[in-house]
Structure 1
C-alpha cells in the first residue's frame, strides 16, 4: 500500500490520515475537503501530504468521510475516476441506502461499506488524533460483494490501526444504530435545548449543573452538519426508536405524576441491568 486519498478531512477522515501516517511513514496521503479551512488545517497538521481534488488512478484506498447525505453522489463520481485496483470505503453512519445504490453498479467489487464506531463530540481536522480508532469496532456490511484482493488493502490499514471488525447486514446496522447511537444524540440535543430554554428565564441555572448533566448533554456539542443528514438518511429507523423512547418517557412521567415511588424504583432497578451488559461489552 503506497497511496491513500481522503475525501472529507474532519474528525474521522483526519484521524484515519494521522493513524495511517503514523503506521506507514512512507505512505502518500492526498485529500480534499469542501471547506477550504479544513483543507488548510489538514495540510498544516500533517493529516495529508498533498491537497488534491481527485484521487490518482493508482491510489490504493479512497476513504469517504463526508456527511451522510453526500456520500452517494461522491461514491459514484469517485468510482468513475479511479483505476480497477483502487478500493473505496466510506465511514458513514448509515449503510442501507449506499448498499442499495451500489447493488448493480459495474464497479461494486471496488466498494467496501464500512462504519467505525468511533468519534467524539468535536469536529474538524483539529479534533482528529492518530489513536481515535484504536480498539474501536468497525462494522462492515456486504463483505462478500467486495473483491477479495482489494479488501486486503483495507484490512491492512484496519489491522495497523488496531480496529475490531464486525460484520452485519446493512438494514440491521441502520436499525441498531438508530437505537444505540442516533437516539442518544437526539436525546442529548433535546436535553440541551430544554435547559437552554429554561436558561432564558433563570440565568444561573448552569451554576447547578454537575457532572451528570455534563456527561448526558456532551453529545449536544456534536456537529449539526454531520448529524442532521444522519437523522434524515436513517429516518424510518430513527422515528421507530423515538416512538419507543417517547412512550417510555410518558409512562415514566405518569409514575412520577402518580407519586408511584415503588414503581419508579422497580423500573430503574430493572434498567440497572444495562450496567452488566455494558461491562460485558468492554
Structure 2
C-alpha cells in the first residue's frame, strides 16, 4: 500500500511523527502540510516533515488521506469543513485525545463513513514540528472509536498504516474512550500541572529546584511542560470524566494527609502497599 498524497492538518508533534513514519517506510509520495502559522510551516519544510504547504481546501482536493492533529476545540469546525469537501474515495482520520464531542458533531454527516476516529496513545511534553520523532508509535496502542460507523476499507487502511508503524489496537465507543483517557492520561497532566504550581509557589529559589530536583520529581512534573493550548480544550471537552477522576484523586490525597496529621503509620503503609499493585499492570 502506498499513498500518492497525504495531507497533515497541523504540523506538530503527532502529525510530524506520523509523516516521518510514512516517509521512512515508503508509504507516501508527497505530504502536504496545513498550518495556521508561517513559522510552523517553514520549520516543517526545513525538517522534511512536509513537501509543500497549501491552504486547507486545496490540500484536501489533492489528497488520498487527510490526517488531522490539532487542538480538540478547533478539530470540530475544521473537521466539518473537511468532511464537506471530500469524496467517497478519500479517507479522513484524526489523532485527538477526546472523541465524544467530535464523533457527535459528525454523526449523521453524509460522509461520516469515510472518517476513522483514532487516538494513538503516545505523546511527549513537547510540541511543534521540531518535536516530531522517528518510530514514535512503535509498541504503542491506538484506540479506534465507533469502528462500525466507518467504511471497512477506510478502517483497514488506517489499521494497516499504524500496524506497519508498530502499533496494536483497542476498540471502544467514544464515551468509554474519553472516560478511560481521563483515568490514565488527563489526570496525569492535571496532577503534573498542580505539582509544578505547588513547588513554584512554595520554593522561591529557582536554583534550589534545579539543583535538588531528583529523578522522581522530574518524571512526575515533566508533563507540566506540556502546551496549555492543547491541554486546556482537552480538559474542558472531557470535563465530566476529568472531574470524576479528579474527585477520586483528591480523596486519595486526603487519606495521605489524614495519615500524616494523625501519625497513622499503619494506614499510611497500607495505602502505599495498595498502590504497589500497579506493578502488576505497568512494568
TM-score class normalised by the smaller sequence: over 0.9
Superposition map of 1:151-170 within 5 A: 151-170=155-174
Q: Helix, strand or coil: the match of 1:272?
A: helix
Q: Helix, strand or coil: the match of 1:27?
A: strand
| TM-score of the two chains, using structure 2 as the length reference | 0.95
- The range that moved more, 79-88 or 237-246, is 79-88
2:14 counterpart of 1:34: no
| TM-score of the two chains, using structure 1 as the length reference | 0.95
Superposition map of 1:44-123 within 5 A: 44-54=46-56, 55-123=59-127
Q: Helix, strand or coil: the match of 2:136?
A: coil
Separation (CA, whole Å) in 1 of partners of 2:14 and 2:28: 21
Separation (CA, whole Å) in 1 of partners of 2:171 and 2:182: 17
Separation (CA, whole Å) in 1 of partners of 2:27 and 2:160: 14
2:238 counterpart of 1:252: no
- Aligned-pair CA distance for 1:156: 3.0
- The range that moved more, 17-26 or 230-239, is 17-26
Q: Aligned to 1:15, which of 9, 14, 17?
A: 17
Aligned counterpart, 1:2:
4
- Aligned-pair CA distance for 1:206: 3.7
CA change 1:173–1:105 in 2 (3 A) is same
Query: Aligned-residue CA RMSD in angstroms?
Result: 1.4
Separation (CA, whole Å) in 2 of partners of 1:258 and 1:109: 58
Q: Helix, strand or coil: the match of 1:13?
A: helix
Q: Residues 191-229 of structure 1, C-alpha deviation per residue, up to 9 Å, x if partnerless?
A: 001101112378634432111111110111111111111
Gap runs ≥5 in structure 2: none
2:253 counterpart of 1:232: no
Separation (CA, whole Å) in 2 of partners of 1:163 and 1:203: 41
Q: Residues 162-194 of structure 1, C-alpha deviation per residue, up to 9 Å, x if partnerless?
A: 211111111111001111100000000110011
- Aligned-pair CA distance for 1:139: 0.3
- Aligned-pair CA distance for 1:134: 1.2
Separation (CA, whole Å) in 1 of partners of 2:60 and 2:205: 57
Q: Helix, strand or coil: the match of 2:61?
A: coil
CA change 1:17–1:195 in 2 (3 A) is same
State whether residues 5 and 28 of structure 2, in contact with CA within 8 Å, keep that contact through their aligned partners in structure 1. Answer: no
Q: Helix, strand or coil: the match of 2:263?
A: coil
- Aligned-pair CA distance for 1:58: 4.6
Q: List, as ranges, runs of 4+ consecutive aligned residues in structure 1 with deviation greater than 3 Å.
A: none
Q: Residues 114-172 of structure 1, C-alpha deviation per residue, up to 9 Å, x if partnerless?
A: 00000111111101012111121110001111112223332332122121111111111
Q: Helix, strand or coil: the match of 2:21?
A: helix
